[in-house]
């Protein structure tokens, strides 16, 4: 059984593959990415919530490929920025996917914020859409979410992870997400929580 993860982000693919591999009932699921299927015009992320964007991408993938499709939208919500960058996390600096520029802009924007007010959370919404229909009422769309609370540091630390990981320390941790091993991060991350919930849905649905 092939399942499409509607992303070209290799690290996201690796992350979901690790989570699927930890579920015995999902060992026969082959996860492929957008680079593994015929190219189609990807829908712009026009939703105002993580859930809306995840469903948009999953619906398009299922429609164009005929495969059960998983998609996620996730980002960093900073308390001092009223929950931003939020859904704009990947393009906060104006250039989509420029992790370093995005990270540095957030640091600059909250540079004068005291440590006790630098709370933040990573949020993830993940969707599974089955081909042949749309709408949650017919059981062909499923949506889950995950959240990881923590705080934003004043400077980046660590070489692992991606995105805002080098400036984020999760609750109960002393190391940034970029200093954790892949397994340590998966165990507590917003995406890990959402993908594990979605893995249970995949096992039940497929």
**Encoded tokens for 34:** 């957008």
The label of the residue with tokens 């299922």 reads 62
Residue 178 and residue 162: Cα distance in Å, rounded? 7
Q: Are 177 and 185 in contact (CB under 8 A)?
A: yes
Among the listed residues 72, 73, 165, 186, the single catalytic one is 73
73 belongs to the catalytic site: yes
Do β-strands 141-152 and 2-5 pair in parallel, antiparallel, or remain unpaired? unpaired
Which residues, in sequence order, are CB contacts of 19 under 8 Å at separation 6+? 186, 192, 195, 196, 199
Three-state DSSP at 140 gives coil
Query: Nearest to residue 197, comparing CAs of 95, 125, 123?
Result: 125
Active-site positions?
73
């Amino acid at each position: 059984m092939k399942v499409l993860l509607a992303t070209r982000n290799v690290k996201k693919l690796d992350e979901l593959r690790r989570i699927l591999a930890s579920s015995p009932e999902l060992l026969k699921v082959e996860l492929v990415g957008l680079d593994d299927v015929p190219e189609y015009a990807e829908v712009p992320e026009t939703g105002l919530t993580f859930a809306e964007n995840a469903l948009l991408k999953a619906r398009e993938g299922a429609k164009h490929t005929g495969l059960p499709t998983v998609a996620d939208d996730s980002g960093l919500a900073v308390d001092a920025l009223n929950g931003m960058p939020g859904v704009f996390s990947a393009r906060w600096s104006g250039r989509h996917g420029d992790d370093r520029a995005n990270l540095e802009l957030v640091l600059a924007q909250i540079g004068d914020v005291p440590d006790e007010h630098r709370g933040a959370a990573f949020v993830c919404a993940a969707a599974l859409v089955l081909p042949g229909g749309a709408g949650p009422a017919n059981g062909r769309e499923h949506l889950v979410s995950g959240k990881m609370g923590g705080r934003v540091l004043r400077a980046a630390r660590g070489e692992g992870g991606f995105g805002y990981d080098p400036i984020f320390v999760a609750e109960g941790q002393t190391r940034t997400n970029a200093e954790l091993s892949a397994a340590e991060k998966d165990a507590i991350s917003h995406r890990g929580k959402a993908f594990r919930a979605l893995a249970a849905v995949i096992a039940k649905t497929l």
